[in-house]
Structure formats: structure tokens, C-alpha cells
């Protein structure tokens, strides 16, 4: 008499850059679960973990560029303050455009690119 697998659990853990990513999944069916279904669940967990690592890499790149952006913001602000000291008739077209941007409420947003672990088509689950 052969036994039916009625429940199974799969778990995938990845280590990348001192961070751990884990995905787990439980399957249950009173009529039985095939090895193929368990293997497909394992693959889905692996894809989730791979996706987490890929998004973590992008997030780290964005965080690293944040420091550079702080310098760009300070530089832009300093340039605009110098331009504002000039007579309006002595400003170049580029300087006028910079001042227009600087006078907007959210002028700093041009230096940031938001990233919230956006999904892409590379990892189909």
C-alpha cells in the first residue's frame, strides 16, 4: 500500500550581502499532492527569493546615490542663491530656468528617484 502525500511544506533561504531572504509555502490537499506540485511550489519560492535579492540590489543602488544627491541639492541651491544676487537682465536663459525650478515648492524632488520595490516583468510568479 502506497501513502498519499496530503500536505507538504517548501522553504527557500538565500544569503546575499549579509542579508537573508526567505520564502516558504505550504500545500495541502486531502486527495493528495504530487511530487510535481511540490517541485513547482519550490520553484515559486525560489523565484520569490531571487526577486527579493534583485530588488534589494536596486534598493542599495538607490540608497548609495542618495548621498550623491545631497551634494547635488546643495550645489544647486548655492548656484541659485548666486544667480538671485544678479540683476534679472544679466541672467542667462539657463539661470532663469534654474531659478524657476528653485522657486517651486518641490524643487528637491528632481534629484530623487523613488523606489518602492517595484515589480518588473523579469520575475513571473
Per-residue pLDDT of the chain (125 residues; tens, 9 = 90+): 567 778 888 888 888 887 888 888 899 988 999 999 999 999 999 998 888 888 888 888 887 777 788 888 889 999 999 999 999 999 999 999 999 988 888 888 777 777 777 766 555 55
Q: What is the largest CA-CA distance in the chain?
A: 95
Q: How far apart are CA 27 and CA 106, in angstroms?
A: 49
Strand partners, 20: 15
Secondary structure element (H or E) that encloses residue 58, with its range:
helix 35-84
pTM > 0.85: yes or no? no
21: Cβ–Cβ under 8 A, 6 or more apart, which residues?
13, 14, 15, 49, 52, 53, 56
Separation in Å, CA 110 to CA 48, 82, 98, 116: 32, 20, 12, 17
Amino acid at each position: 500500500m502506497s501513502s498519499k502525500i496530503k500536505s507538504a511544506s517548501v522553504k527557500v533561504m538565500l544569503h546575499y550581502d549579509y542579508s537573508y531572504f526567505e520564502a516558504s509555502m505550504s500545500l495541502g490537499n486531502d486527495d493528495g499532492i504530487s511530487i510535481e506540485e511540490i517541485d513547482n511550489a519550490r520553484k515559486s519560492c525560489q523565484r520569490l527569493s531571487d526577486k527579493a535579492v534583485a530588488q534589494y540590489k536596486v534598493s542599495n543602488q538607490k540608497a548609495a546615490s542618495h548621498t550623491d544627491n545631497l551634494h547635488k541639492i546643495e550645489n544647486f541651491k548655492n548656484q541659485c542663491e548666486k544667480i538671485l544676487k544678479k540683476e534679472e537682465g544679466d541672467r542667462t536663459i539657463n539661470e532663469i530656468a534654474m531659478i524657476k525650478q528653485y522657486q517651486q515648492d518641490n524643487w528637491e524632488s528632481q534629484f530623487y528617484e523613488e523606489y518602492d520595490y517595484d515589480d518588473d516583468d523579469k520575475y513571473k510568479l
